[in-house]
Amino acid sequence: MQNSGMKNYHTHTYRCRHATGDVMDYARIALDQGGTVLGISDHAPLPDGRWPDVRMRMDELGGYLRAIEDARAALPGLTILKGLECEWDPAYFGFFQEELLGKRGFQYLIGACHWFPFGGEWLDLDQCGTPDRLRACSSYLAEMMGSGLFAFIAHPDSFGIMPAVWDADRKACAADILRAARDLRVPLEINGYGTRMPRIQTAGGERLKYPWLPFWELAAEFDIRVVCNSDAHRPEDVLASIEDCRRIAERFGLARVEETFLLKDPAAPGQRPVL
């Protein structure tokens, strides 16, 4: 069967305002395609309402959880996990730990950088083109990993979404991220969404926004672990591109951990993944 035994821990729903479909739509296709584990991980609402155009609102959180429970009840042959993809700010630590992992019973959180703090403001990733901004981005990711909240870090190579070439500054940024992942034992995600995006033109030629291959080639020099995910924003992509990501991991000899991405008790609230 196509995609037999496949696991995907990065899935969005319509609530994030840039994806389509609900939990049941993704889950049915995953099961039909032979998937065994589906992590639902839409963009987390934030208590201060920051970046509202690309995430669910706080008042949608209950409906999101009900949609996951409904899919679990309807499709017992598929393991469906409760997750969220989160932006990091130290001010959110209590909210993530006590409200999301605690009271709300989410099973895992994904750390992600779509903006990074610099000079007293938050910049988009496509603005990290200078050495000092690249250092700010890598420091931000290292702090995110150091929080201890996140099961893995999504698309850590997405500082390359701008049409930049691999150079000493990008290599230094990547090395800082990889060093933090190694030292803190936080897995990094090879993200398949970028393989479904239009390629970008750079001075060095055409390439994917991500996965950025030089990043993963450098990763082979560090003792890190990787998770290969679809980052699905449409139900038909629920298991898409994962094999492409696995081939990248295999090409560079990177240890995959999704096969041991286990929960102590998938039904128990507040349990976080053991990687």
Q: In terms of Cα–Cα distance, which of 110, 190, 189, 105 is closest to 151?
A: 110
Q: Is the pTM of this model over 0.95?
A: no
Which residue is it, tokens 């840039």? 18
Give average pLDDT by consecutive 10-residue segment, the chain, 275 residues: 81 98 98 97 96 96 98 97 97 97 96 97 94 98 97 96 92 98 97 95 92 98 97 98 97 84 42 45
Q: According to the model, what pLDDT value does residue 228 have?
A: 97
Q: What is the pLDDT of residue 164?
A: 87
In three-state secondary structure terms, 226 is strand
Structure tokens at 88: 């990091």
Q: What are the structural domains, with CATH classification, of the chain? A: 7-260 (3.20.20.140)
- For tokens 């609102």, name the residue: 57
Give pLDDT, residue 271: 42
- Closest C-alpha among 47, 55, 60 to residue 95: 47
Q: Which two tokens stand for residue 134?
A: 């690249």
What crossing angle do the helices spanning 23-32 and 61-74 adopt, rounded to 10°?
Answer: 30
